[in-house]
A and B are shown apart, each in its own frame.
Chain A
Amino acid sequence: MEDIYAELLNKAANGDQLAFKQLYEQCAPKLMSLCLRLMKTQALAEDVLQEGFIKIWEKADSFSPGKGKAMTWMSTIIRNKGLDKLRSLKTKAVETEIQYEGLEFSSADMEPDKLANMSQDVKGLMDCLEQLKPEQRECILLSYYYGHTHQELSTKLDRPLGTIKAWIRRGLEDIRPCLS
């Protein structure tokens, strides 16, 4: 499937601000959703989205279509910005305005429409995740979407810290062959 965002990103790399605005308009809602889950408050999420898109503008010329899709490249930039911000805040999300808790959106039992619109890449990834034990999958997805530390997962899932660490470690060990 053609990477529609790669073309816009390429134009942005050449200084085309209109193309960059189009890119923002099309991608920001999905990336804002990620920021909200990581940062928990609207203000922090918007700060991260803003800083992330500024970095995308500045680094657009380093995107290489051969290495992946534009959306995955941008997601990684935004998510790493969010994780850096969480680390700099030290005390993570003390006051949460919005409750983003669940993983319903990533459930295996998806509506047919949503399933049909999923890319082959995400289907492949979901197939790999489906091979894991439910608790391993849950910990990995919560780490990815919410940036939870092991300690936070231990509290949230009411399980000993060692158990959480083992679930994640074994889950990632198990998923590696499937991903590669």
Chain B
Amino acid sequence: MSKLTEKPMNTPDNKQNSKQEQGEQNSTLNRYQNPEIFEQLAIEYAVGSLHGRARKRFEVLMDTHFYLRAVVDAYENKFAHLVELLPDSQPSDRVWNNIENHIQEQNKSLKHTPDKAWWKSALFKRSFGLAAMALVITAVLFLNPMTLTPTVYSAVLETESHVPVAVTRISKSDMKLSIDIMKKVDIPEDMELSLWCHPKEGGEPMKMGEISKQGKTMISISQEEWKNLKNVGLLAIHIEPRNSHMDKPSNKIILKGKLTPSSDS
């Protein structure tokens, strides 16, 4: 294991000073943002050689940083083929009986009280699906084929695993961009979410502004920004260091979706 991975494992448990912890967290984040380091950590995690506090810390970061999860998933997929080489071992009947009983019990309790988080529920998925579909239908219905001049742009933003999480609408009538994040996005305190427009034909992305981790954010847009929207293909939410005021987005995209023009006139 590299020196960089030894450090979190050897860090004493009893650090009480919050400032020190904050500094430690920042330096940990910086380490995990280095592709060379996080890729090595990801493969160590996948193979099982990352242990103890380092493994736990990496799991916490994976929940926040989708790119870490994606790299780990890729390596886990590769190494999981090793299971194919193992000889078979038959478990006792007790195992299946317990699984079956658990499923039956779960089915009974589900009839009374749904135990899944609301955004994971079938109802939410269906509702969100309908809302997303309504957005697309609205976009299609209101598109004025004669003029092809959009007055509204919209996008459904999804995670890498295609789970819809946010809806965006940019309207010419009030020159406002609204983005509604349906599920809270957990990010470290020193990071923030920012919304960027990526041009269809490549080139410099356009920053629309910082957005909340949950709920609705409204951003005023300029005439120039509105004009530029016709060249935008993709809307993406990036994670960036707080108050970094970067003129280029970080490479950490957590949600993205295609921007669709429409007209409400």
Contact = CB atoms under 8 A, between A and B. Distances in A.
Nearest to B76: A76
Given A72-B76, A125-B81, 11 more contacts: A33-B87, A50-B99, A53-B95, A54-B102, A72-B81, A76-B80, A87-B55, A118-B84, A143-B47, A147-B48, A172-B44
Interface in B93-151: 94-96, 98-100, 102-103
Interface of A: 17, 20-21, 24-25, 28-34, 36-37, 42, 45-46, 49-50, 53-54, 57, 62, 64, 67-69, 71-73, 75-76, 79, 83, 87, 105-106, 118-119, 121-122, 125, 139-141, 143-145, 147, 149-150, 165, 168-169, 172-173, 175-176, 179
Given A49-B95, A50-B99, A76-B80, A143 B85 contact: no
Interface string B20-63: 00000000000000000001100110011101100110000000
A145 B79 CA distance: 10
Contacts of B77: 67-69, 72-73, 76
Contacts of A50: 95, 98-99
A106 B47 contact: no
B116 to A, nearest CB: 9
Nearest to A37: B86
Nearest to A98: B89
8 contacts: A33-B88, A37-B86, A50-B98, A122-B82, A122-B84, A169-B1, A172-B43, A172-B44
A55 B6 CA distance: 32
Chain A interface, >50% SS class: helix
B44 A119 contact: no
B173 interface: no
Contact of B82 (A21, A69, A145): A145
A163 to B, nearest CB: 12
Contacts of A173: 40
B91 interface: yes
